[in-house]
Structure 1
Amino acid sequence: MAAGLGKRFWFLWSSSTVANLGDGMRLVALPLLAYSVSDNPVDITLVAVFASLPGLLLGPLAGVAVDRFDRRRVIAIANALRTIPILVFACLVHAGKIELSYIYALAILLPVFEVFVDSAAPPLMSELLPEHLLEKGNSRIFIARMVSQDVLGSPVAGFLIGVSASLPFFVNGATFAGATILILLLRGPAPSPGPGAGVAAGTRTQKARSGISVIGRDLKEGFAAIWHTPLLRAITLTSAVLNFVLLAGSALLVVYAKEDLGLGDEQYALLFTSAAVGSALGGWAAPHIVARLGTSPTMVWALVAIGASRAGFGLAQGFWSALASFFAIGIATFVYNVAVASYLQRVTPNSLIGRVYATSQAASYGAAVIAALTAGGLTQVTSVRSIMLIGGLAAVGCGIACWWTTSRGGMADGPAKEQAPVPAGRSADSPAEK
């Protein structure tokens, strides 16, 4: 069924999957290690805050690099570089030198390289696949990420850390090394530029430009591309709001599950299992839904479904209703993510796609930082159940805002109307687009 994606895509898929398996282990092991040093909630929360900062602060700059250099090499170098700190940290843990300062350093250093990987992978995939296979390719990448991180990585980390506190980090280093090798195996002739990528083919073969003013101009082009394209602007703002309301609730999830719903440990774990199953189903269905409805209607209905499901979770009275809500959230979230990623790859000129993607992600990282910092404070003014309900209503509001924004411009009513290119902005050494 997926044979049409091609051998080169599967090298990218394999590299991403292996790296995400290691990420899933570290994302579980690092907070557990921090908890063994300090049970202060603020100390634990800072791990998540530090992990989000590089994406917020460096995302747009990473996008500039991704648009200038070979995306395959950017991914390979970033994966190779993040192998070093994780192995050094593993050695420190193995030697019994476990300190919060080391944990914070790793939490902030690894995402510095990760933001380059995450910014380069979508543009690279748009080079490897024809337009009609973008949804299919994104669904395979997203499903593999979810399975490797949440279904496999999390329980494996729990087992490994029971054997040795350093073992998950040694294995994580090995996965980064493996991901580096796999992406370097992605060889072959350069793909033909897609629609709107004419500037990219010329720009990336020119000698690298230098100077702060040129970097500033590149950043400005990325911001302008988002701002002057209604659906991309709606995607960026909506994703940031959605990230905030969902992550604020997620930070308090264990409190809500234990105190409001009265769930046991096994029932709490099953919530994530149901979300994973729903995500896999949503990832499989997303290409078919987008093909039938178009990107904008798919986004709107997915956002409404996310909001209704989160509100339903806020109204849940027991295990089964909470389980059903998490299942529905998994489906709707993956449909939304596949539709958004594929639209961005389809309409953005190849010379801009790294900056557009990284800038959009930076907004979401900023929302994650705010959510991590404010989640605890929100419980001082309202209940956790209310936070879940408000988050659901906010997601529905995002869907309505997205519909209003795109319907005014008459954009993306169906697949045939999704080909309008993002305005690339004219640079001094680039030809004007016709």
Structure 2
Amino acid sequence: MPPAEPPPPADAARTPPGRPDEPARRGLGRSFTNVFTANISSSLADGIARVAAPLLAARLTDDPLLIAGIAAVAMLPWLFFAIPSGVLLDRIDRRHAMSIANGTRTLLAVTLLTLFATGTLTIWWLYAVIFAYGALETLYDGAIRAVVPAIVRRADLPRANSRIEAGELVVQNFLAVPVTSALFAVAVVIPLGIGALSYAVAGVLAFFLPAAAAGAHRTHRARRRRSDDAPTAASDAPSSDDAGTPVLPSVRATFAHQLTDGFRFIMSHPMLRPLWFLSILIALFFSAAIATDVLFVLDRLDVPEQWFGVFMLSGAVGGIVGAVVVSPLKVRFGAGPVMAAANFVGPVALVVMGFFPTIPVAVVCFAVSFGSTSVWNVLVMSLRQAAIPGYLLGRVHGTWRTLLWGTMPLGSLLGGLLARIDLTTPLLVAGGLTVVVAAAGYRFLHGLPNPEDVAEHALPTR
């Protein structure tokens, strides 16, 4: 049984405003431009925070364990808050969620700037701010992913998600990293101030999104409130989605009950369940393969430390190229075949790099691997957005991310243990295991539909 929740009217969950038979437009519309711009601004602030946090930590302490703890503290909120944030997103206006998340992060950035400027910043205060940043990121990230399918058509989801993916990569890798590093050396308050302003801009832009971005759950409740008549027997009967699949009637559910809605939906869905398990295994082994890439690059490839950031831009370039080509590839070959190929090519590149640890080979393999990951991310997100009813997007996204991202620290630990044997061992062993998983899931992935053809698979079978 799927989770009990007030369903939206027919088609409201997945069809953005406009006539169903209206031909696809060339552009993605002003609403998407608004979302894209807000996400660019928020991504710039995120990138500044990720660079500034360890630099600030290095000024506050010489303890390598405390400095390394910054990365762990940044990811920890996903284990605790991803699912509750998803439940919240399926209850409130998602535009307000974006504004609240970035408005609060603006205040946190100002607080961090003030603590530093007054000389009262300690490593523990820094930990607290970074943890709060991460908790609010679970809310914002879920909101931005849930808003996109409400304002673009299913056929345009890969194109929309590829632009978001490419924008984040460009801003965080090619703008935030060098700008923050350069300005940090001049005056710490400058990048911190830019980060606070960027969060504020993103929060304000959310107010200008159309009503559809609020979420199908809000649209349904608003219509019920405007109705002058009490619910009739007909209104309590199951409605249908655009594929004729019945949707359960409205049933009030407690917050605690809704915490498991995402898990129950995924587990009962014939497409999402195997895709989730496959994604978790891939994430586990992939994170193990790249866990010690910094040591591999510096010690095995003998890249000078000052050139490490430039060298790793090869991965960022590959990711951007992947985000650019994913939509044309999907149109030419179909989402399933492209996902199957990307999921196989990426880990193969890691294994090749392990067998031939030279700088030219590593540059190409990093680009191919991260490019394949970008293609995979865009298409997986697009399929999820098309398959999940709008009123469940927050909960399912939170559940998906909790276990998926929760395995990554375990993968990093596995990679660290393998690296004690040799710095190429994580690439060969963990990369090889990723290839095995990719080969095992190749047939399933190859048969996946395009996002616009997912309507008939949208809800689990009863």
Query: Aligned residue for 2:184?
Result: 161
Query: Aligned residue for 2:80?
Result: 57
Query: C-alpha deviations, 1:145-170, integer Å up to 9, x for none?
Result: 01111111011110111012333222
Alignment of 1:114-125 (within 5 A): 114-125=137-148
Distance in 2 (CA, whole Å) between partners of 1:180 and 1:137 is 20
Distance in 2 (CA, whole Å) between partners of 1:135 and 1:18 is 21
Equivalent pair of 1:82/1:110 in contact (CA under 8 Å): yes
1:89–1:326: structure 2 CA closer, same or farther, 3 Å change rule?
A: same
Distance in 2 (CA, whole Å) between partners of 1:46 and 1:385 is 25
Distance in 2 (CA, whole Å) between partners of 1:37 and 1:249 is 31
Which secondary structure does the structure 1 equivalent of 2:390 belong to? coil
Query: Aligned residue for 1:258?
Result: 298
Equivalent pair of 1:307/1:396 in contact (CA under 8 Å): yes
Distance in 2 (CA, whole Å) between partners of 1:54 and 1:4 is 36
Structure 1 residue 284: Cα displacement:
1.2
Q: Calculate the TM-score normalised by the size of structure 2.
A: 0.82
Query: C-alpha deviations, 1:113-155, integer Å up to 9, x for none?
Result: 1110000111111000011111110011110001111111011
The answer to whether the aligner puts 1:190 opposite 2:212 as a matched pair is yes
Query: Aligned residue for 1:337?
Result: 377
Structure 1 residue 71: Cα displacement:
1.1
Structure 1 residue 424: Cα displacement:
6.4
1:326–1:379: structure 2 CA closer, same or farther, 3 Å change rule?
A: closer
Query: Aligned residue for 1:202?
Result: 220
Alignment of 1:263-342 (within 5 A): 263-265=303-305, 267-342=307-382
Aligned CA RMSD, in angstroms, stands at: 2.7
1:47–1:189: structure 2 CA closer, same or farther, 3 Å change rule?
A: closer
Query: C-alpha deviations, 1:70-99, integer Å up to 9, x for none?
Result: 111111111101111221111111222342
Query: Aligned residue for 2:105?
Result: 82
Equivalent pair of 2:86/2:394 in contact (CA under 8 Å): yes
Equivalent pair of 1:283/1:338 in contact (CA under 8 Å): yes
Equivalent pair of 2:352/2:365 in contact (CA under 8 Å): yes
Equivalent pair of 2:268/2:461 in contact (CA under 8 Å): no
Query: Aligned residue for 2:174?
Result: 151
* Larger relative helix fraction: 1
Distance in 2 (CA, whole Å) between partners of 1:317 and 1:49 is 29
Distance in 2 (CA, whole Å) between partners of 1:215 and 1:146 is 35
One of 390, 403, 412 as aligned partner of 2:448: 412
Structure 1 residue 385: Cα displacement:
1.0
One of 81, 84, 90 as aligned partner of 1:67: 90
1:296–1:131: structure 2 CA closer, same or farther, 3 Å change rule?
A: same
Q: Which 5+ residue runs of structure 2 have no aligned equivalent?
A: 1-23, 226-251
Distance in 1 (CA, whole Å) between partners of 2:337 and 2:137 is 32
Equivalent pair of 1:221/1:424 in contact (CA under 8 Å): no
Which secondary structure does the structure 2 equivalent of 1:337 belong to? helix
Query: C-alpha deviations, 1:47-68, integer Å up to 9, x for none?
Result: 1111111111111111111111
Distance in 2 (CA, whole Å) between partners of 1:78 and 1:70 is 12
Structure 1 residue 253: Cα displacement:
1.8
Query: Aligned residue for 1:223?
Result: 263
1:397–1:417: structure 2 CA closer, same or farther, 3 Å change rule?
A: farther
1:330–1:243: structure 2 CA closer, same or farther, 3 Å change rule?
A: same
1:415–1:138: structure 2 CA closer, same or farther, 3 Å change rule?
A: closer
1:405–1:96: structure 2 CA closer, same or farther, 3 Å change rule?
A: same
1:414–1:176: structure 2 CA closer, same or farther, 3 Å change rule?
A: closer
1:205–1:365: structure 2 CA closer, same or farther, 3 Å change rule?
A: farther
Equivalent pair of 1:200/1:349 in contact (CA under 8 Å): no
1:372–1:48: structure 2 CA closer, same or farther, 3 Å change rule?
A: farther
Structure 1 residue 310: Cα displacement:
1.6
Structure 1 residue 6: Cα displacement:
0.4
The answer to whether the aligner puts 1:24 opposite 2:47 as a matched pair is yes
Query: Aligned residue for 1:355?
Result: 395
Structure 1 residue 389: Cα displacement:
1.9
1:418–1:293: structure 2 CA closer, same or farther, 3 Å change rule?
A: farther
Distance in 2 (CA, whole Å) between partners of 1:95 and 1:178 is 26
Query: C-alpha deviations, 1:182-226, integer Å up to 9, x for none?
Result: 22222x353799xxx7x775357668xxxx971233222211111
Distance in 2 (CA, whole Å) between partners of 1:306 and 1:402 is 14
Q: Which 5+ residue runs of structure 1 have no aligned equivalent?
A: 427-434
One of 410, 428, 433 as aligned partner of 1:389: 428
Equivalent pair of 2:346/2:368 in contact (CA under 8 Å): yes
Q: Which amino acid aligns with 2:123?
A: L
The answer to whether the aligner puts 1:240 opposite 2:262 as a matched pair is no
Query: Aligned residue for 1:13?
Result: 36
Query: Aligned residue for 1:429?
Result: none
Structure 1 residue 323: Cα displacement:
0.5
1:299–1:6: structure 2 CA closer, same or farther, 3 Å change rule?
A: same
One of 125, 132, 147 as aligned partner of 1:109: 132
Moved more, 86-95 or 387-396: 387-396
Distance in 2 (CA, whole Å) between partners of 1:71 and 1:415 is 22
Q: Which amino acid aligns with 1:65?
A: L
Query: C-alpha deviations, 1:231-287, integer Å up to 9, x for none?
Result: 322332333333333334444222111111111235422332222222221111111
1:205–1:298: structure 2 CA closer, same or farther, 3 Å change rule?
A: farther
Q: Which amino acid aligns with 1:100?
A: I
1:67–1:161: structure 2 CA closer, same or farther, 3 Å change rule?
A: same
1:88–1:367: structure 2 CA closer, same or farther, 3 Å change rule?
A: same
Give the % identical residues: 26
Q: Which amino acid aligns with 1:294?
A: G
Q: Which amino acid aligns with 1:82?
A: R
Structure 1 residue 101: Cα displacement:
0.7
Distance in 2 (CA, whole Å) between partners of 1:2 and 1:143 is 21
Q: Which amino acid aligns with 1:346?
A: A
Query: C-alpha deviations, 1:19-65, integer Å up to 9, x for none?
Result: 10111111111112212333433222211111111111111111111
1:68–1:288: structure 2 CA closer, same or farther, 3 Å change rule?
A: same
Which secondary structure does the structure 1 equivalent of 2:188 belong to? coil
Equivalent pair of 1:69/1:204 in contact (CA under 8 Å): no
